[in-house]
Amino acid sequence: MDAVQDEAAGKRARGLDRAFEILDFLRQKRQALKPNEIAAQIGAPRSSVYELVNLLLQNGILEFTGGEGRVYLGRKLYFLGAAYENHFDFTRECEAALEQLADETRETAQFCMLDGNRYTVVRMREGARPFRISTDVGQSVPIPWTASGRLLVAHLSDQEILNFIPPQDFRLPNGEWLEPQTFIAEVRQAEREGLFTFNSIVDSFTHCFAVPVRGEEGHAAATLCLVTPRDDGIANRDRYLDCLKKAAAGLDHAPSRPKRT
C-alpha cells in the first residue's frame, strides 16, 4: 500500500514540475502557443501537456488567446503576484530607490534577482536621456552575461557555481566562449569589492554597474544596477557607484522583509 501511495505522490510531484515548466516556458516565449507546440518545444509527451493545460485553464492559470486553441498566462497569475507584493514592503521601497537613482543619474536603473538559475530584471526605471536604454522586465538571461550575475552567485563555492549554471550559458551572445574559471575569478573580485562593473556583453554601446542588495543571511539576494551609455558610464563611474551604494544600503534585507502591519 505504501509503495502505491509513494508512486502516486511521485506522479503528482512530476506533474507539478511539468506544470511549472509550461508556465516558465510561456513566460520566456512571451507569446501564446498551442499545446502541441508547447509539448514539442519542451520535449514533453503531448498527452501530459494537454492534460496539464486543461487543468491550468480550468483554474484560470492559463487562458485561451489568439485563436486556434492557443494559450497564454492567465489573469489569475496577476492576482497571485499582487497578493505577494501586498505582503512585502520591498516593492514600494524598490520603486522609490529606482526613481531616485534615475533622477540622480539620468540613467536607466534596475532591480534584479535570480529566477532559478537565470538572471532577470524585476523592476526598471528608465533614465531621462533622449536615447533610452531599456530591457524586458521578467525576461530570463544567462547569469554569465550580466554584471549582477557575478554578485548573485558570490555566496556559492566555485564548484557550486559550476553545478548551478548550465554549461551552455557560458556561450556569449556574440558566440564567444567565456571560460568558467574566468567567470569565477570575476565573481570573487565582485565579492571582495562589493560591486561589479563592465562593458555590457549583450549591448556593445552600454556600460553596466551592479551592487548587492543583501538579504538576512548577508549575501546578495538582489542587485541594484545602472545601464548607461559606455562613455558616460566610464566618465561618471565613482559618482554612479556612490549613488548605487547609498540606494542599496536602504534596501538591505528588504527582499525578505514582510510588510509591517
Q: How far apart are CA 201 and CA 192, in angstroms?
A: 22
Give pLDDT, residue 130.
58
Please, which contacts does 28-34 make with residues 24 or more away whose CB atoms are closer than 8 Å?
Answer: 28/139, 28/140, 30/136, 30/139, 31/72, 32/65, 32/66, 32/70, 32/71, 32/72, 33/70, 33/71, 33/72, 34/68, 34/69, 34/70, 34/71
Measuring CA to CA, which residue among 207, 186, 205, 194 is closest to residue 248?
Answer: 194
Q: C-alpha distances in angstroms, 174 versus 117, 151, 238?
A: 21, 23, 29
3-state helix, strand and coil shares in percent for the chain, rounded to the nearest 5: 50, 20, 30
Give pLDDT, residue 89.
59
Give pLDDT, residue 79.
85
pLDDT tens for each residue of the chain, 261 residues long: 555 455 555 666 788 899 999 998 898 888 999 999 999 999 999 999 999 999 999 999 999 998 889 999 998 888 887 777 666 656 677 888 999 999 999 999 999 999 889 999 988 998 876 555 556 677 789 999 999 999 999 999 999 999 999 999 999 998 999 999 999 999 999 999 999 999 987 766 889 999 999 988 888 999 999 999 999 999 999 999 999 999 998 887 655 555 544
**Helical packing angle, 2-29 and 46-58, nearest 10°:** 80
Give pLDDT, residue 4.
45
Give pLDDT, residue 94.
84
Choices 3.40.47.10, 1.10.287.70, 3.40.50.510, 1.10.10.10: CATH for 2-78: 1.10.10.10
Rg of the chain, C-alpha, whole Å: 20
C-alpha cell at 254: 528588504
pTM passes above 0.85 = no
What are the boundaries of each domain within the chain? 2-78, 88-256
Give pLDDT, residue 82.
77
Q: What is the CATH number of domain 88-256?
A: 3.30.450.40
